[in-house]
Each structure stands twice: as structure tokens, then as C-alpha cells.
Amino acid sequence: MRALDMKHPAIAQVEAYWEALRGNRNVPLRSEIDPRGIDQALENAFILERIAPSVARFRLAGMHLNDLMGMEVRGMPVTSLFTGDSRTKLTDTLEHLFEEPAKVLLRLTGEHAAGRGKTSGEMLLLPLRSDLGDISRAIGCLVSDGRIGGKSPLRFNISGAEITPLSGVSRGTRSSNVYKAPDEVIAPAQAALQEEAKEYQVAPSNEDVDPNVAKRPAYLRLVHDNT
């Protein structure tokens, strides 16, 4: 199991960017997220929307998640990535994420299936505020190793969870072990925040998308929402 100070670079970048965004606040705004700030993690990144207690769906998702499931995951519940045995653990974790709120790091093991070797992974979940001020969004990052192709979706078991309430009290993690990104990881995110903010182009029932990013090959895709 990877030590907290040796996180995957994609997870480290997402966490460092989120930390730089929130500053002295407990949770940053969803509207503050600029894909340029996590340019090295877009394939693994995603945005969740909480639609009911213990229920969240993918609003945006990187191609790595689509590859794991063998299909487009936007609009699907985040539980679709997990085995039945781990879904209860995940829904309980989502309540900590949105209600406390808390930072979450999940240790994952892939479900055994014919034609696949051992697969492991990590999922980071970080809360965000919507424009209404409620904590109903989250930015996340999922990385995995091992073979992900196959005729059926690859689902994960939760082998461990580290929940760190943003009050500073840690559940299952000693405070001395809580990850702190090095300067060389934080600096790019801080530099991105210093750039002039781009106006978001709003379309009916869609999430905000940076028009400059939309011109690049899409890693994070828009979820259409008629609600």
C-alpha cells in the first residue's frame, strides 16, 4: 500500500490544486475549478453531484473512468464503479464527504474476473460548494494499475478508507500522516489561479465549461441535465 507522501502524481495534483483554491476556507466553489489547473490529471479526474442523501452521480468524467467501465459514465451513480459489497461503504463515505465535510482517500482492489490480473487503485474525493452555497459537488481523481480491458466493467472493492474532516480532526488517519503536497506540486495550481479568470459560457441545464479548454480533445465531458 502506497504511503500518503507517495501519492500518484494525478491525485497529488488534484489535491494540491483544491488546497490552493480553498485557502483559508473549508471548501472552495465548484465554479472556481479550471481544468487548466489539473492539466496532468484530466484523464483521471471527475466531478460528482450529490442528488440525494448518500447518492451522487458523475457530472464530468475523464476517459480513464470510461475505460474502466467500458462505457460512458457521465450521469451514472458513482456506486456503479464498485462491487455490491462495497457500495454500502461508499454511500457511508459520501455522507462524511458532503456532511462533515471531509477529504476522502479510498484504497481499491479490482474485482477478480477471468482474463484480468490483480488490479489496485486509489480514489480521492474532495468536497465543493455549488453556486447556491450548499456542499453538493465534489472533485475527484481515480487511478488504477493492472489490466483494465475486458468484456465486462471493472468494479472495485474498498480495501481501506482515510476520512479527514476539514475541522482538522482525522478519522482513521493520524494527523502527522495527512498528506501535504510539496511546493513543486502546489506551484502550478497557484500560478493558474493568478491568471485572469475566463468567463464561463452557460448553456441551459449544463455545467460550466471553460471555452478555451473545450477546444482541446475532451477528457472531461459535459453531462446533460434536464432537471
Tell me, letter by letter, the H, E, C secondary structure of 196-222: CCCCCECCCCCCCECHHHHCCCCCCCC
Q: For residues 39 and 204, which has the higher predicted lDDT (pLDDT)? A: 39
For residue 149, name the pLDDT band (cuts at 50, 70, 90): low
pLDDT of residue 178: 32
What average pLDDT does the structure give for the chain? 77
* Cβ neighbourhood burial of 72 (10 Å; 0-12, 13-18, 19+): middle
CB 77 within 8 A of CB 56: yes
CA–CA gap between residue 209 and residue 57 (Å, rounded): 18
DSSP state of 112: P
- Report the pLDDT value the prediction gives residue 7, as an integer from 0 to 100: 74
Mean pLDDT in residue range 117-145: 93
- The helix or strand, by DSSP H or E, that contains position 184, with its residue range, turns out to be helix 183-194
Residue 198 grid coordinates:
475566463
What integer is the mean pLDDT of 25-51?
95
Reading the block at residue 13, the C-alpha cell is: 495534483
Q: What is the pLDDT of residues 167-204, one digit of tens each?
A: 754 444 323 233 333 444 334 433 333 334 334 333 44
In this prediction, residue 99 carries a pLDDT of: 95
Look at residue 128 and give its three-state secondary structure.
Answer: strand
Which of 59-63, 149-153, 191-195 is predicted least confidently?
A: 191-195
Q: What is the DSSP string of 81-97?
A: GB-HHHHHHHHHHHHHH
pLDDT at 107 over 70: yes
pLDDT confidence tier of residue 111, bands split at 50, 70 and 90: confident
Asked if residue 101 has pLDDT above 70, the reply is yes
What is each CA distance from 161 to 92, 128, 153, 173, in whole angstroms?
11, 20, 22, 9
CA distance 190 to 135: 23
Place of cell 494525478: 10
Which has the closest alpha carbon to 68: 38, 43, 51?
Answer: 43
Find out whether 162 and 101 touch, Cβ atoms under 8 Å. Answer: no
Helix pair angle (9-22, 183-194), 10° resolution = 50
Query: What is the pTM assigned to this prediction?
Result: 0.71
Q: Which of 55, 44, 54 is nearest to 77 (CA)?
A: 55
